[in-house]
Each structure stands twice: as C-alpha cells, then as structure tokens.
C-alpha cells in the first residue's frame, strides 16, 4: 500500500518496491478547471480500447479510492485501474469480496468525503442493487462505470443493456456512452456534475460491453499532466462524515425509521429532493458535454433516437441514407438521467416518424420516449430494431426498419 | 494509429459487432481495415479486405479477392505492419488502375 500511514498499516512506497525517490503520479499532475480540461486543453488522438479509455479517464480524475469486484467485461478496466494504483494515480484500491460488499464499502468511502470509484457489469450490478439503491438518498457522489452485459438466464457474457432499465428510477445520474471517446469524456464530466453542491448524487456511466470495452476506437485525450480538482467533501448537500469519530447512529434522520405519518412525509420529501437534484444536474452536463443530446440533420422529417452503441449503428445508417439522397435525422441521448425532455421536444418539431433502435429486449428507451413525448409530438414512435442476448445490430437492419416504417407511415 | 492518406471514411463496424472500420480508396480500388473486439485484448488485430468500388460517388464496394495482393482476408497484428502494407498497396492500386485503363474495353 503506497504511502499510507495508519495505526494498522504503516507501509511506505519503498516497502512496496518503489525507489526511494518515487513520487506518486497524482502528485506530478496539475489541477485544472474542469471547463479548461473539457474544452480548452490540447488533445492527442490515440487508438485504444474502451477499457484503456476508461483508464486514461481515471488517470485524470483525481480519484481517492477505487473498490471493485471483477466481472466480465468490467475486469479489463479495473485491471487497468490496478496499474494506475501502482503508478500512484489512484490513492487507494482494493478488490472487495462480492458486489454487495463492494457497493456498501464504496458508499462508506464516499460518505467520508473522498472521490470514490467503482465498476461492474450486468449480474454484478444486479447483485449489488440493494446497496446501489441506497446511494442517492445518502447523497453519495460515487462514480460507477458499468460495462453492460446480459443478466438473464441462460448465462451469457455478451452485450445487452437491459440492466440500465433497473437503474432508471433509483435517483442516480445515468449516462450512456456510445464509444471509446465517450467512455473517456463522460466519467470526468459525471464526476464534476455529481459533486456539485446542488447535486451531490451518485453517477453511473454505462457503455455496451465488448463492443466498446474490448474494441479499439479513436479517442482524443488531454495531456496526462493535468487532473480534475479534488473533491471537497464539505462542499456538498450532506457534509462528509468523520469516520474516525462516527456518529452513534449512521442514519442521518432517525425519525424516518418510524412508521407514522411524519416519517412517511419526510421520506417523500427526501425522495422529491433527490429527483429534483437529478434535474438540477442537467445544467452542468450542458456545460461539460456541450448538451444533453447531439442532433444530426436537424429539421429532417424522420428521426432515429438512440443511446449507446445503437447510436453508432444509426449513425452509419444515416450516412448511407444520405448517399441515397434521403435525409434522416439522428438524436443521440447522452444523459438518460436527467432525461433531456425539453431538448428532444425542440429537436423533433414537425417530425413524422421516430425510430428507436435498442440493444435490449424490453425497449426501455422506446417506453421512456413514448411516456415523455405524450401530448408533445404528433410523430409516430416505433421501437426497433431491437436485439439482445449478445446479438448484433448490422446497419442493414436499421435501414430495413426505416424502409418498413416509411411504408407504414407514409 | 493507421495512416490517414487516402482514408475516406471511419465508421463503427457496420456488422454491428463492435469496433472500428477504416475505408481507404485509390481510384476504383481500396481496402477496409477492421479492428473488432476480442475477449483477450492482446489478441486484437486488424482484418483487412481488398475492395473494388462500384460507384464513383459513394462508399459502395465489393470485396475483391482477385488481385495479386490477396485472395483472402488478411490479418495484421500491429499498426506498424499494416501501415507498411497500406503504403505498398496504395502504389499497387495506382498501377492497377493505369494498367486496367490500357486494356481494350469490352463492348
């Protein structure tokens, strides 16, 4: 354990085999304003996997502690986190014993006021869901990376993002990365938004496993000499807990444990505040990511609305339609929570057809769009193509769905 | 990174299996270089197809296994080795185009 002095552990970097003059990587970095990092610093193009993009994001994120339990396809990223720990870019890192323990431990770390990161995939996320559900109410700005994978029986390790639907109503901030570039940018933006005093919520950045994590793509990255500002645990909606002198009762609101009208009312208002904080985070993502959505071909008569890898496949379909002389619009949704209702409504004025391709059986994004656009648009919103269980979505599948849709709704 | 000369398109793997595809074009010939996902990251490699374009204006093409360059899908394990191949292939496509134009045209 590098450079840690404590009652039980008093090992130094030298004990861990480092040279006497070793300086942790994070101490050689310079703190920069987030807007400087996101929009002004020069960037170098690298061709790297999503897992490596996550590593470079973590390197610049000024992370105090990372805790995770390995699961495919997340393991590669957290192996990379291990290298960062060895280089001194992450101050503390350990492998927990399973996901409930992982997500409970990371919650404790975050309550102590330090920047805390964890990562998981499909079944691991499901196992730790009870602990995850407690994060927003505890106002713990944890950053979680989620590499989506099939959760259902029969067992499979292939990409499928049904697990994201389980997080929609937890009160967490949710982002969906399309590619390796997003998996570099989004965690940094999510960290800064989640730690704002009027937000103070956990944030999860999901991406589709293997398609992004285990494949290379072009990524523009900022110089490694620069890092985000550290977390200020006292500047948050709920102040950090002094874990050296913990309170007698961990619950912040003891009366809420009772079963009476007052406790119900308190719980209700607490939940309202959590979900209001999700909405308040939108203004930060507008600044950091340049908007909650990306619109291609604004003003088109028909649109594809998608998130994650489905955007990449739709992007190519839109390009091929353009070669054939047809203009198809595309809306990429970056933030699933906060859901960009106003931006989408503005972008689809006058649109006749909206196609929603997804990598899951339930079609959660289609359902979400139908719910939020009810009464706000006259467009027909059609789900499809939908693939799941690790199936792929060739561009032709999107093109065929568009052609069928045009026949159904001329 | 692969060289950018004659690169006309970078896109996600159109088969939907993840990864990135680069399209290079020299006259009517070219090649696609695809880097797809691998469970073991160290096994990530390039799959290269020689292609012949079927349209002047668009990126429509057919896989071409009838040139001297390749009669099958090629594999490269490093960017460096593929970049060296690309440079040679671009010269070959230029010469092939010149030679094809010298041939009598079928009526």
Query: Which residue of chain B is at minimal alpha-carbon distance from A73?
Result: B39
Q: Any chain B CB within 8 A of the CB of A241? A: no
Where are the alpha helices (H) located in A281-363, listed in sequence order? 282-289, 309-323, 341-347
What is the pTM assigned to this prediction?
Answer: 0.93
Strands A116-120 and A302-306: unpaired
Element (DSSP H or E) covering residue A359:
none
pLDDT of residue A6: 47
CA geometry: angle at A185 spanning B39 and A272, to 5°?
105
Mutate to test the interface with A, among B16, B35, B44 (most CBs of A within 10 A): B16
Q: Where do the domains of chain A lie?
A: 25-227, 293-408
pLDDT of residue A7: 45
pLDDT of residue A238: 87
Query: Which residue of chain A is at minimal alpha-carbon distance from B40?
Result: A214
**φ, ψ at A203 (rounded to 5°):** -130, 135
Is the pLDDT reported for residue A387 higher than 50? yes
Confidence of residue B104 (pLDDT cuts 50, 70, 90): confident
Task: Give me the DSSP letters along A93-140.
Answer: EEE-SSHHHHHHHHHHHHHTTS-EEEEE-HHHHHHTHHHHHHHHHHT-
Among A10-24, A141-155, A171-185, B59-73, where is mean pLDDT lowest?
Answer: A10-24
Q: Any chain B CB within 8 A of the CB of A218? A: yes
Task: Give the fold, CATH level 3, of A293-408.
Answer: Rossmann fold (3.40.50)
A 32-61 residues with CB below 8 A of B?
45-47, 49, 51
Residues with Cβ within 8 Å of A39's Cβ and at least 6 positions away in sequence, in order, are none
pLDDT of residue A2: 46
Q: What single-letter DSSP state applies at residue A161?
A: -
B 80-99 residues with CB below 8 A of A?
none
Mutate to test the interface with B, among A77, A182, A207, A312 (most CBs of B within 10 A): A312
| Domain A25-227 grouped into CATH 3.40.50.970 | yes
A chain contacts of residue B15, beta-carbon cutoff 8 Å: 392, 394
Within a 10 A sphere around the Cβ of B67, how many other Cβ atoms? 16
Within a 10 A sphere around the Cβ of A287, how many other Cβ atoms? 16
Confidence of residue B1 (pLDDT cuts 50, 70, 90): confident
Grouping H, G, I as helix, E, B as strand and the rest as coil, residue A55 is helix
Is the pLDDT reported for residue A276 higher than 70? yes
Nearest residue to A293 via CA among A335, A351, A337: A335
Among A261-275, A353-367, B34-48, where is mean pLDDT lowest?
Answer: A261-275
CA distance B37 to chain A (A): 4
pLDDT of residue A12: 81
pLDDT of residue A156: 86
Confidence of residue B107 (pLDDT cuts 50, 70, 90): low
Number of residues that this document lists for chain B: 107
Q: Tell me whether domains A25-227 and A293-408 share a fold.
A: yes
pLDDT of residue A252: 54
Q: For residues A44-53, give the mean pLDDT.
A: 96
Strands B20-26 and B29-35: antiparallel
> Please, what sign has the CA dihedral across residues A221, A224, A226, A231?
positive
pLDDT of residue A14: 87
Is the pLDDT reported for residue A8 higher than 80? no
Is the pLDDT reported for residue A255 higher than 80? no
CA distances from A283 to A177, A199, A291, A409, B86 (A): 19, 11, 9, 36, 46
């Amino acid at each position: 354990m590098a450079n840690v002095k404590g009652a039980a552990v008093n090992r130094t970097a030298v004990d861990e085999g480092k040279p006497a003059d070793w300086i942790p990587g994070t101490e050689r970095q310079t703190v920069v304003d987030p807007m400087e990092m996101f929009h002004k610093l020069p960037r170098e193009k690298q061709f790297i996997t999503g897992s490596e993009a996550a590593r470079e994001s973590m390197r610049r994120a000024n992370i105090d502690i990372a805790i995770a339990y390995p699961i495919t396809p997340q393991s590669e990223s957290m192996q990379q986190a291990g290298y960062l720990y060895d280089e001194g870019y992450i101050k503390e890192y350990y492998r927990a014993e399973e996901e409930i323990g992982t997500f409970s431990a990371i919650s404790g770390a975050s309550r102590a006021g330090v920047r805390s990161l964890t990562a998981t995939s499909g079944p691991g996320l499901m196992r730790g869901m009870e602990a995850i559900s407690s994060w927003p109410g505890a106002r713990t700005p944890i950053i979680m990376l989620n590499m989506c994978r099939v959760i259902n029986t029969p067992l499979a390790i292939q990409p499928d993002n049904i697990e994201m639907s389980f997080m929609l109503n937890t009160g967490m901030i949710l982002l969906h990365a399309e590619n390796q570039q997003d998996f570099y940018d989004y965690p940094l933006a999510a960290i800064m938004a989640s730690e704002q005093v009027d937000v103070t919520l956990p944030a999860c950045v999901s991406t589709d496993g293997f398609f992004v994590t285990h494949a290379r793509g072009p990524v523009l990255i900022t110089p490694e000499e620069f890092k985000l500002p550290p977390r200020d645990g006292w500047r948050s909606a709920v102040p950090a807990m002094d874990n050296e002198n913990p309170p007698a009762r961990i619950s912040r609101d003891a009366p809420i444990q009772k079963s009476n009208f007052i406790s119900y009312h308190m719980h209700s208002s607490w939940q309202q505040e959590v979900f209001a904080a999700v909405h308040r985070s939108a203004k930060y993502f507008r600044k950091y990511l340049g908007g909650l959505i990306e619109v291609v071909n604004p003003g088109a008569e028909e649109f594809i609305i998608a998130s994650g890898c489905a955007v990449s496949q739709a992007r190519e379909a839109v390009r091929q339609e353009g070669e054939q002389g047809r203009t198809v619009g595309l809306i990429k949704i970056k933030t699933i929570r906060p859901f960009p209702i106003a931006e989408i409504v503005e972008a689809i004025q006058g649109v006749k057809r909206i196609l929603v391709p997804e990598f899951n059986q339930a079609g959660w994004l289609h359902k979400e769009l139908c719910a939020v656009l009810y009464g706000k648009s006259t467009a027909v919103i059609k789900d499809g193509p939908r693939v799941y269980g690790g199936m792929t979505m060739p561009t032709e599948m999107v093109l065929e769905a568009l052609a069928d849709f045009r026949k159904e709704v001329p | 990174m692969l060289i950018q000369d004659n690169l006309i398109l970078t896109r996600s793997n159109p088969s939907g299996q993840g990864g990135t595809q680069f399209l290079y074009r020299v006259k009517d010939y070219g090649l696609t270089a695809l880097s797809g996902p691998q469970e073991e990251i160290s096994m990530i490699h390039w799959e290269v197809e020689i292609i012949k374009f079927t349209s002047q204006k668009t990126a429509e093409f057919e896989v071409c296994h009838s040139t001297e360059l390749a009669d099958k899908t090629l594999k490269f394990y490093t960017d460096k080795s593929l970049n060296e191949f690309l440079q040679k292939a671009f010269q070959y496509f230029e010469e092939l185009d010149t030679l094809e134009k010298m041939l009598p045209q079928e009526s």
